[in-house]
């Protein structure tokens, strides 16, 4: 039986999958290769880049026009600025790949490798490709995966040696080279230990013709993928499941596959029973709580300073002030640069939609939950304290949080790396601790929104909560209007506006509660 793949490259005989070579627009790729172009394929991790490269390799090798070789250079990452070790590691990785997948080329490659044994790392890579290509009966297409895993002078040397050999193509150098990684090569900012300078990818590799970004799945792709399971096992998906998966993932391939694997192979194993939206919701919660590799990698990135400088203002709904200057070597907080934002886009954490927003609903939930993971465990609140006749008393919950915030915020906010969003994160930790007992929290936030919107579902009740930081005399008026619109859009019958007046030192002035006529309560913190 096939299954949904969420680890490593696709194997079509084993996995439900979309055609990996069609995902990268085969016709465009073939045209670039025919034109002797060197180009970049990039996308966030676990979106199918390696699967597409391997499919392209197999397709080209099945034809009569090219030899196509794939190599993953990640093993050379640890070499960092040690060019000799880095280049030798890459050559060894290429030798292993050819020995395993291209036995017809093994002798020619071994001879080429021997011819560069005494050369230094600064020339061995380019000389190897030249010596390997010369005796081949067909042009070589080289696919280099995980290129941006290389660090410092090793990466600079690889790029420059390829650039130097470029005029020799197609007889004395690969006709086409595809560089594959998370980022476009033009966005690389490489620290050269040898030159004591920052080298841009564009200057080190100015022969790139195109940049192709591998996209996420569409709504139709999700349906096509899931229906392969139905066709093979007979297990159906409840009406609304495909659209719900789209709402949660916006087509992120790893999330789409993992939700289906969790729902079909762990939660509802009986193929005679349909997969429901409740199963998908449980699958989502399982992968968040289990911190699968993809989630763990996402969490790790949140600790990076350049990620925090972009995500922090998003959580607080603030705008970003850009600076074009790099404050290199300074221990002080550096301003956000356009490159920082592009880096977070390339990681797949955010996307442009008018302003920048978190890429999908699952990431929206993971980010704030992870940032308060430890603090949430330390909050001694129980769901039962806020339940009356089976219904959640949101007013009582926020009243208790108001007192909790007054007593503990100074000490607790110092624990957060994301200090600009600290009040928002603390309230979410408090809410999550309580709501985990039988409800769900949906979050909406983005750059420049000047607020964070929360929708709490508990049983049949819906509560809209808007979080704002007081910035002027109109904050409360604007917040009430925005909350009314959010209540109408979300179908919430009860609304709460929480205003954090972080500039006011007097708690007597900060703490207040105002009940409005339209089922809205304003809470001052």
Is the omega angle on the peptide bond into residue 39 within 30 degrees of 0, that is, cis? no
Task: Answer yes or no: do 201 and 268 share one domain.
Answer: no
Q: Determine how β-strand 452-458 pairs with β-strand 439-444.
A: antiparallel
State residue 503's pLDDT score.
Answer: 83
Return d(Cα 458, Cα 444) in angstroms, integer.
18
Closest to 338 measured CA to CA, from 328, 359, 353, 324:
324
Pick from 290, 308, 332: which residue ends a domain? Answer: 290
Task: Answer yes or no: do 502 and 358 share one domain.
Answer: yes
State residue 193's pLDDT score.
Answer: 67
Q: What is the pTM of this model?
A: 0.87
Task: Answer yes or no: do 208 and 283 share one domain.
Answer: no
Which residue matches tokens 């790029």? 159
Return d(Cα 403, Cα 368) in angstroms, integer.
22
pLDDT digits (tens, 9 = 90+) for 120-165: 999 999 999 999 999 999 999 999 999 999 988 999 999 999 999 9
Dihedral sign, Cα of residue 144, residue 145, residue 148, residue 149: negative
Q: Report if residue 510 sits inside a domain.
A: yes
Low-confidence ranges of the chain (pLDDT < 70): 190-198, 200-204, 321, 323-334, 437
Task: Answer yes or no: do 518 and 418 share one domain.
Answer: yes
Task: Answer yes or no: do 231 and 185 share one domain.
Answer: no
Task: Answer yes or no: do 118 and 154 share one domain.
Answer: yes
Q: Report if residue 166 sits inside a domain.
A: yes
Which residue matches tokens 């696709």? 10
Q: Which domain holds residue 245?
A: 219-290
Computed on alpha carbons and rounded to an integer, the radius of gyration of the chain in Å comes to 27
Task: Answer yes or no: do 147 and 237 share one domain.
Answer: no
State residue 203's pLDDT score.
Answer: 66
Task: Answer yes or no: do 272 and 160 share one domain.
Answer: no
Return d(Cα 66, Cα 58) in angstroms, integer.
11
Domain count for the chain, please give it.
3
One-character DSSP codes across 403-426: HHHHHHHHHHHTT-S-GGGHHHHH
Tokens for 338, please give them.
Answer: 């356009």
Summary mean pLDDT of the chain: 90
Task: Answer yes or no: do 501 and 467 share one domain.
Answer: yes
One-character DSSP codes across 72-129: E-GGGGGGTT-HHHHHHHHHHHHHHHHHHH-GGGHHHHHHHHHHTTTS-HHHHHHHHH
Q: Which domain CATH number covers 225?
A: 1.10.8
Q: Report if residue 308 sits inside a domain.
A: no
Tokens for 117, please give them.
Answer: 């044994």
494, containing H or E segment? strand 494-500
């Amino acid at each position: 039986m096939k299954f949904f793949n969420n680890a490593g490259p696709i194997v079509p005989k084993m996995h439900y999958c979309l055609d990996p070579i069609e995902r990268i627009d085969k016709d465009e790729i073939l045209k670039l290769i025919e034109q002797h172009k060197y180009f970049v394929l990039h996308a966030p991790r676990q979106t199918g880049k390696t699967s597409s490269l391997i499919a392209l390799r197999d397709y080209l090798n099945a034809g009569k026009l090219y030899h196509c070789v794939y190599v993953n250079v990640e093993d050379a990452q640890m070499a960092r600025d040690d060019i000799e070790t880095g280049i030798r590691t890459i050559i060894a990785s290429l030798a292993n790949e050819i020995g395993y997948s291209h036995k017809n080329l093994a002798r020619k490659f071994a001879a080429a490798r021997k011819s560069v044994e005494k050369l230094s790392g600064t020339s061995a890579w380019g000389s190897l490709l030249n010596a390997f290509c010369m005796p081949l009966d067909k042009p070589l297409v080289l696919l280099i995966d995980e290129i941006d895993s290389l660090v410092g002078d090793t990466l600079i040397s690889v790029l420059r040696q390829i650039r130097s050999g470029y005029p020799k193509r197609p007889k004395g150098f690969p006709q086409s080279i595809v560089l594959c990684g998370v980022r476009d090569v033009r966005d690389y900012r490489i620290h050269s230990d040898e030159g004591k300078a920052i080298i841009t990818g564009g200057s080190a590799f100015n022969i790139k013709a195109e940049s192709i970004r591998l996209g996420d799945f569409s709504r139709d792709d999700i349906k096509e993928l899931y229906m392969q399971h139905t066709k093979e096992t007979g297990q159906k998906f409840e009406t609304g499941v495909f659209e719900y998966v789209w709402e949660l993932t916006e087509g992120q391939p790893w999330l789409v596959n993992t939700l289906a694997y969790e729902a079909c192979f762990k939660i509802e194993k009986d193929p005679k029973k349909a997969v429901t939206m409740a199963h998908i919701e449980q699958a989502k919660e399982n992968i968040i709580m289990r911190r699968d590799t993809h989630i763990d990698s996402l969490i790790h990135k949140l600790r990076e300073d350049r990620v925090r400088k972009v995500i922090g203002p998003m959580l607080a709904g603030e705008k970003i002030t850009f600076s074009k200057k790099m404050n290199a070597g300074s221990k002080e907080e550096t301003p956000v640069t356009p490159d920082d934002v592009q880096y977070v886009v390339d990681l797949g954490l955010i996307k442009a939609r008018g302003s920048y927003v978190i890429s999908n609903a699952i990431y929206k939930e993971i980010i704030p939950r992870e940032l308060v993971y430890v603090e949430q465990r330390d909050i001694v609140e129980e769901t039962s304290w806020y339940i009356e006749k089976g219904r959640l008393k949101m007013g009582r919950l926020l009243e208790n949080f108001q007192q909790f915030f007054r007593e503990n915020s100074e000490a607790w906010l110092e624990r957060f790396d994301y200090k600009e969003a600290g009040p928002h994160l603390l309230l979410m930790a408090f809410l999550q601790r309580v709501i985990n007992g039988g409800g769900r929290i949906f979050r909406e936030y983005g750059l420049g929104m000047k607020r964070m919107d929360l929708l709490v579902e508990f049983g049949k009740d819906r509560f809209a909560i808007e979080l704002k930081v007081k910035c002027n005399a109109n904050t409360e008026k604007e917040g009430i209007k925005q909350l009314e619109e959010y209540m109408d859009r979300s179908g919430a019958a009860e609304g709460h506006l929480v205003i954090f007046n972080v500039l006011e030192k007097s708690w007597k002035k900060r703490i207040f509660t105002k009940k409005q006529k339209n089922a809205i309560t304003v809470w001052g913190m």
